[in-house]
Chains A and B, each alone.
Chain A
Amino acid sequence: MTSYLDATLPSRSEHLWRYTPWSRVHPGSVDTIPTVDSAVAKSEELEIVNQPFQPLPETDIARIFLNEVLTETILVECDGKEGSIHIHAGGHAVATHLHISCKTTSNLVIHIHGEAEWFGLALTGHAQPNASLSVGIINELSTDSVMVRVDDWYVQRDGRLELATLSMGGHRNKSDIRSTLQGTNSSLKQFIGVHGHGTRHDDHHVEIQHQQPHTDSHLLLNAACDDRSHSIGTGALTIDDVAQHTDASQVFRNLLLSPSSRAEAIPELEVLANEVAAAHGAASAPINKEQLHYLMSRGLSNEEATSMIVEGFLVDSFTGLSSDYVRDAIQTRLTVHLECKLIE
């Protein structure tokens, strides 16, 4: 296993670290390995088993770092079940690794909360042949927290994976979400909703690799940025030369709610097969004044109308989710979050 202290720190010219350098999300000085405790994970509906740590692929500095500090892997037994896992991230620096393997059909929600100064989350999983796995990740960390998230997902023949992320918490977040469509006729749908507020900095890097023919992947990232927040969405879609008849799309949409908010959306495609449909799009716009006027003409104040438009915009990120369980959980937390923001 590569030692973190021997590893080369990434330069900002790298696509992955261009907008959020590793030094800004490392828990301390980059040439140190601070003490990192295990975060507490609980579930009432699902069986979770603590196992010796299964190392992450050494593809980048964040994974190499997490390999140094993680001590266990939490195996989630979710076949044929639906349920939530609550991760409480408290203390100075905490981390956890969840591994999810699904052979049948599962719907699960991972709810992250707590006041940790730094939280490292590694998610790995397999949607095995013919499996259908829906996973929702809800980030409601405290406004002072820094989070580093790395995902490695594999979808096998005729497998279906839905990954939905609602990101509302933390001060600075870097998520590197990678999925590989390993089997013929496998499918990935990825939905990300970001609410930027205060000085939140939220960076989602999404890599999707199509390795087999007749695979499809669709990514939608909606970011609503208020105050002085900054959202970044970078995509890296690779369609291998054998992955003919692939259907892939990546769409990034940003709603800018204040003149000081910022959003970057950079989809990148590398298509090596010739019989594919691959589309990408990115758009940033301020709030639609006609929508605002319409809602205000129905008695909602400017703030209430804006909140409703933001909620709608973010809910719309998850409309394509087939799992009612995951969608309802996400929508409930989003509504609570926005109502709290309205009162603040």
Chain B
Amino acid sequence: MTEVLLRVENLHVSVGDTPIIQGISLEIKRGEIHAVMGRNGAGKSTLANVIMGHPAYEITSGAVHYKGENIAEMEVFERARAGMFLSFQYPAAIPGVQVGTFLRKSVASVRGEAPSPREFRKELNEAMKQLDMDKSFLSRYVNDGFSGGEKKRLEILQMLLLQPDLALLDETDSGLDIDALRIVAEGINAVAENTGCLIITHYQRLLDLVKPNVVHVLIDGKIVQSGGPELAMKLEKEGYDWVDALV
């Protein structure tokens, strides 16, 4: 039986006194790709962030289970070490920290031991080649002065190196030109076979390249409809007005 990686049960989330997510349930198995679509402010990024354990969000009821365990008490870094990965919509810049140093430390933390320098260099070269990234990236400071596209490539580079079991991709396609989108999609597809993926996106164009098993439509913090890839195509053609009738 395929392993259930993520089970979200009737999740309610607030920021301060403002409820953002109001009863979401979903289940992602290894090898599945789920897409979450919805208008701005629907709660999509909140869902990804709360699964990853962002301290700004409070789970008011419901639960998030990862590999069968309730992870409410797990710290963010423990989730990462357990195989969870979030590709951020707006990755933070860390001035003064070189990308190469950051990647090496991150890989060592998640794997529990530092890879040998030679092995790591080989892995890194292969992953960077796959994403058509120049080696000069490694000496730049993390996300500092990066274009939107460069930030997204770095996120996917991290995903390739960290080989997560569960990948949460928050608008990874935003800011990418057509060629960059294709390269990033290839990167996602490279890990998707053995990973559970939750892809948050506004656009069908990414889902043309990364085929989802399930598409969820999120309105006002609730999943109002789930379906196959045809649902994303319908949203692309007709927008969200017809979904309002379902709320």
Contact pattern, A 280-304, Cβ under 8 Å of B = 1, otherwise 0: 0000000011110111111111101
Is B28 interfacial (CB-CB < 8 Å)? no
7 pairs across A/B with beta carbons < 8 Å?
A288-B92, A293-B54, A294-B88, A298-B110, A301-B75, A312-B96, A319-B96
Is A17 interfacial (CB-CB < 8 Å)? no
Partner of A300, one of B56, B85, B106: B106
Is A326 interfacial (CB-CB < 8 Å)? no
A300: chain B residues within 8 A (beta carbon): 77, 105-106, 109
Determine the residue in chain B with the shortest Cβ distance to A305.
Answer: B77
A316: chain B residues within 8 A (beta carbon): 95-96, 141
B76: chain A residues within 8 A (beta carbon): 293, 296-297
Is B80 interfacial (CB-CB < 8 Å)? yes
Is B203 interfacial (CB-CB < 8 Å)? no
> Taking beta carbons and an 8 Å cutoff, which residues of A are in contact with B?
288-291, 293-302, 304-305, 308-309, 311-316, 319
CA distance A304 to B76 in the complex (A): 13
A289: chain B residues within 8 A (beta carbon): 55-56
Interface residues on B, range: 20 to 34
CA distance A305 to B81 in the complex (A): 14
Known: A298-B162, A299-B110, A300-B105. A309 touches B94 (CB 8 A): yes
Partner of B96, one of A294, A296, A302, A315: A315
- Tally the A-B contacts, defined by beta carbons under 8 Å: 81
Known: A297-B52, A304-B105. A313 touches B80 (CB 8 A): no
Whether A293 pairs with B55 at a CB distance below 8 angstroms is yes
Whether B94 pairs with A308 at a CB distance below 8 angstroms is yes
Determine the residue in chain B with the shortest Cβ distance to A316.
Answer: B96
Is B137 interfacial (CB-CB < 8 Å)? no
Is B190 interfacial (CB-CB < 8 Å)? no
Is B158 interfacial (CB-CB < 8 Å)? yes
CB distance from B109 to the nearest CB of A (A): 3
B105: chain A residues within 8 A (beta carbon): 300, 304, 308
CA distance A270 to B92 in the complex (A): 38
Determine the residue in chain B with the shortest Cβ distance to A319.
Answer: B96
Determine the residue in chain A with the shortest Cβ distance to B88.
Answer: A294
A299: chain B residues within 8 A (beta carbon): 77, 80-81, 106, 109-110, 162
A314: chain B residues within 8 A (beta carbon): 96
Whether B55 pairs with A298 at a CB distance below 8 angstroms is no
Contact pattern, B 104-117, Cβ under 8 Å of A = 1, otherwise 0: 01100110000000
Is B86 interfacial (CB-CB < 8 Å)? yes
Which residue, A299, A304, A311, has most C-beta atoms of chain B within 10 A?
A: A299
Whether B96 pairs with A301 at a CB distance below 8 angstroms is no
CA distance A304 to B54 in the complex (A): 17
A313: chain B residues within 8 A (beta carbon): 95-96
Whether B109 pairs with A304 at a CB distance below 8 angstroms is yes
Determine the residue in chain A with the shortest Cβ distance to B143.
Answer: A294
Determine the residue in chain A with the shortest Cβ distance to B79.
Answer: A297
CA distance A313 to B94 in the complex (A): 8
Contact pattern, B 71-90, Cβ under 8 Å of A = 1, otherwise 0: 00001110111000110100
